[in-house]
Structure 1
Amino acid sequence: MANKFIVFIALCCGCLASSAQQVGKLNKIRFGVKGGVNMSKMHYSNLGNHDVGGMTSGVGGIFAEFDLGTESRFSIRPEVLFLSRGSEVNGIDVYGDDFNYKLKAKYTDIRIPVIYNFCNPEKISPYIYLAPIFSFTRGGEINYNTYIMDELIPWPSLDVTNANFSKFDFSAAAGLGVRVPIKIVDTKKIYFAVEANYQYGFTNTYGSKEKDGSAISLNRNIYDISGSRKNRSFEISASVSVPLSIFKKTRKKKATPTYTPAPVVESRPVVEKVEEKPCYTLDEIMQLLSDKQPIAGKTICAIEQINFKFGESEVSKESFEYLDKIVLLMQQGNIRMEIKGHTDNVGTESFNLELSKKRAMAVYSYLIKKGVNPDRLSYSYYGMSKPITSNDTEEGRKINRRVEFEILNNE
């Protein structure tokens, strides 16, 4: 049953990964490995005055994590982990002799944490989660020793499966953690996370052969097992994961061949036609003016020169120098210009539309304050509706967070 469950989880992960690849969301899927320490101490409902201890085990496994929604505030992380749980009971049997009972059961856990991220996973993000845990026993041992007159009387170790130990356990975990993106090359990152959780078991793990003593060839009255025994654990772990986008090769831009027509000899001077581009730098526009070339209809794209704080619309001081150059440009003639605000796709559509409006207005207000005639300025805003490159990488999103200046005329 455990193998079927693992195959089912793997198929689900594969389907989600395939779907995400089709819509270009490879950076929202991560695969990783996890390791840590599990400290279990089973809860016995009725053991009288016996001394109950726990055990510590390593834990390790693999997982896939899927970010959900445009802001990636929620994630789901199917994982398969391997660990041991158990306990140790020391007490006095009905004959007044000391006994020692040790249980170590090996488990395969299928966990499905549902995670709430306090920040976008592209940044350092604390998170909390809840997870159902489906556990399957893979074996383990039960050891029972009696001390008669301080002399050790050991009993043969017993495989938990022969004790009719519960083969399936259902529990739940609540935890918290923090995830840190680490840049490795260009825009590619890996993610390191540490977390801690508490696990609460709901299933009684006693087997009937344990309770009646037949598991270790003892009569029931040697020791008194009654009530229930349920798993309880505290776990600390660390993980490393990589997004699917890390395996996607960056396509090199191919140079577009251009056709240069043969020169035409005419009796009148030939004005060289300037090839139109979707975006110009401010320096290119100034050079065109110097060459007495027309600039009406051309657009200046300010990708890195005009900066805002994340999610805010106040123009940073570092952008003032560039905007002052825009003022100088408009003083070269009777230039009319439209300011256009754009954002990337991080956040909701309505949020980005409003943010692009506020940013365009902020630039508009700055230019007016510097003496530009309001009749020669206007502004518009588009949110995330008009990207000029892919939003799948941080580099692409940076380019799409831009302000454009469209020159309407320069009469």
Structure 2
Amino acid sequence: MKARSLLFFSLCCFCFLVMAQSGDKSERVRLGVKGGMHLSNMHYSDLDQYSPDWISNGVGGIFAEFDLGRNRKFSVRPEILFLSRGTKIGDSNISYKLKTKYTDFRLPLIFNFTNPSKVGPYVYVAPVLGIGRGGEVNYTEFHDGEAYEWEPLDINDANFSKVNFSVAAGLGIRIPIKVAAGKKIHLALEANYQYGITDTYGSKEKDGEAIAVNRAIYDITGTRKHQDIEITAAVSVPLSIFKKMPKKEKPVPVVEKPIVVEEEEVPVIIEEKKPCYTLEEILDLVVAQKPIAGKTICAVDVINFEFGKSAINKNSYAYLDKIAMLMQRTNLSVEIKGHTDNVGKEDFNMELSRKRAKAVYDYLIKKGVGFSKLSYTYYGMTKPIASNDTEEGRLINRRVEFEIK
């Protein structure tokens, strides 16, 4: 019990250190549960006359996952799982089944092929410490068609090794699923192979001091190591999902006191000014025949590009068509401004914002907007309007603006 408590305390300390490196970037930290199918077998080095069979069991547990590095290419995932390991051996003379319950403490070290916020595969290796929690050995002999079943033998009486070290290698795919504005859960499907490093025989079992099942069948001179195949599904949520999203406050018009002219006494109301407008707000102003010159349209999460590229996604065409129609029906000119978040090098982001602004410019020209009405500039990561420390903030900063002249 003391060994388990010390191990659990060490695991908690490690998680704390990794979390401290992550700072307040809570979307990099995820908590989750996993479960699935576990197939187990034992490799006996001195029982060539038998072919041990696999046994199947369920597996389930909890984990915490931490993304590391600026581009989140690496992750570490401390996890605690509950499962069983064992094997079956038999022929016309005997039937032997070993099944041991385990609590596994694993530490997968993960390489992500894509940013964890996007759908993508990953691979990992993991050291595994297994703590035996009990189990049984079942043994039956067959003589002249009759079965003689021995009393089930408790694993503790058999002096089965209670501590086991192994390694695991696996692969998986992570699928983020949007559940609300700026909120995602992560679904992961993975498979792994595990191989035991240490012998599961206990010292007394080899020496013959422990209670054994019909030791006359074989002498324990070799090793017994487990091997496992595991297929699981996992669901995790980032810590940021528990943060309350700031409420969007309705803009309060700035109204100055009316300037009273003695002759007419006409109040003068100063119109509200905003740094950014949606396209719908601009169209409403056009319908109301109000001036829109000098206003800026911020296209956040409506003009999308392939990751790290300047190709416009087809789902953005409808929005750009509305911009083109607005310009064709008015005499206004527009300056297109490209922006990025702070992921990546500054030179790369500056060039990327130029290419994206140019792509929007070219699209509007093809839609019939005159050259004299269009221009474009680019700023890379130099003009954020939200924090780059969160996924939601970076989404807002990856924007295209249209400044109406």
* Aligned-residue CA RMSD (Å): 3.6
Contact 2:40/2:228 (CA < 8 Å) preserved in 1?
yes
Instruction: Give the number of aligned pairs.
Output: 394
Secondary structure of 2:35's match? Answer: strand
Q: Which sits farther off after the overlay, 206-215 or 191-200?
A: 206-215
2:15 match: 13
AA in 1 matched with 2:15: C
Question: Where do 1:145-160 residues align within 5 Å?
Answer: 145-148=140-143, 151-160=146-155
2:229 match: 234
1:208 match: 203
Structure 1 residue 62: Cα displacement: 0.6
AA in 2 matched with 1:204: D
TM-score, normalised to structure 2, is 0.81
2:357 match: 360
Contact 2:258/2:268 (CA < 8 Å) preserved in 1?
no
Structure 1 residue 302 corresponds to structure 2 residue 296: no
AA in 1 matched with 2:340: T
With over 3 angstroms needed to count, the CA separation of the structure-2 counterparts of 1:267 and 1:307, relative to structure 1, is: farther
Structure 1 residue 151: Cα displacement: 4.8
AA in 1 matched with 2:107: I
AA in 1 matched with 2:172: G
AA in 2 matched with 1:76: V
1:384 match: 381
Provide structure 1 residue ranges, at least 5 long, that are not aligned to the other structure. 93-97
1:322 match: 323
Deviations 1:326-366 (A, max 9, x none): 4665x45xx6x653211245555554332111112234455
Q: Which sits farther off after the overlay, 319-328 or 103-112?
A: 319-328
Contact 2:255/2:269 (CA < 8 Å) preserved in 1?
no
Contact 2:253/2:271 (CA < 8 Å) preserved in 1?
no
With over 3 angstroms needed to count, the CA separation of the structure-2 counterparts of 1:134 and 1:360, relative to structure 1, is: same
Question: Where do 1:93-104 residues align within 5 Å?
Answer: 98-104=93-99
AA in 2 matched with 1:114: L
Contact 1:199/1:233 (CA < 8 Å) preserved in 2?
yes
Q: Which sits farther off after the overlay, 262-271 or 378-387?
A: 262-271
Return the match for 2:135 from 140, 157, 178. Answer: 140
Structure 1 residue 69: Cα displacement: 3.3
Contact 1:119/1:126 (CA < 8 Å) preserved in 2?
yes
AA in 2 matched with 1:372: F
Secondary structure of 1:227's match? Answer: coil
With over 3 angstroms needed to count, the CA separation of the structure-2 counterparts of 1:217 and 1:241, relative to structure 1, is: closer
Structure 1 residue 88: Cα displacement: 2.5
Secondary structure of 1:241's match? Answer: strand
Return the match for 2:122 from 116, 119, 127. Answer: 127
Deviations 1:29-66 (A, max 9, x none): 22111111211111111213134223222211111112
1:59 match: 59
With over 3 angstroms needed to count, the CA separation of the structure-2 counterparts of 1:385 and 1:5, relative to structure 1, is: farther
Distance 1:217 1:135 in 2: 23
Deviations 1:61-92 (A, max 9, x none): 11111223344333221110111111223369
With over 3 angstroms needed to count, the CA separation of the structure-2 counterparts of 1:286 and 1:50, relative to structure 1, is: closer
Contact 2:138/2:152 (CA < 8 Å) preserved in 1?
yes
AA in 2 matched with 1:214: E
With over 3 angstroms needed to count, the CA separation of the structure-2 counterparts of 1:323 and 1:352, relative to structure 1, is: farther
Structure 1 residue 367: Cα displacement: 6.1
AA in 2 matched with 1:169: N
Provide structure 2 residue ranges, at least 5 long, that are not aligned to the other structure. none
2:50 match: 50
Q: Percent identity?
A: 53
TM-score, normalised to structure 1, is 0.80
Distance 1:219 1:314 in 2: 72
Q: Which sits farther off after the overlay, 143-152 or 79-88?
A: 143-152
Contact 2:88/2:97 (CA < 8 Å) preserved in 1?
yes
Distance 2:102 2:41 in 1: 15
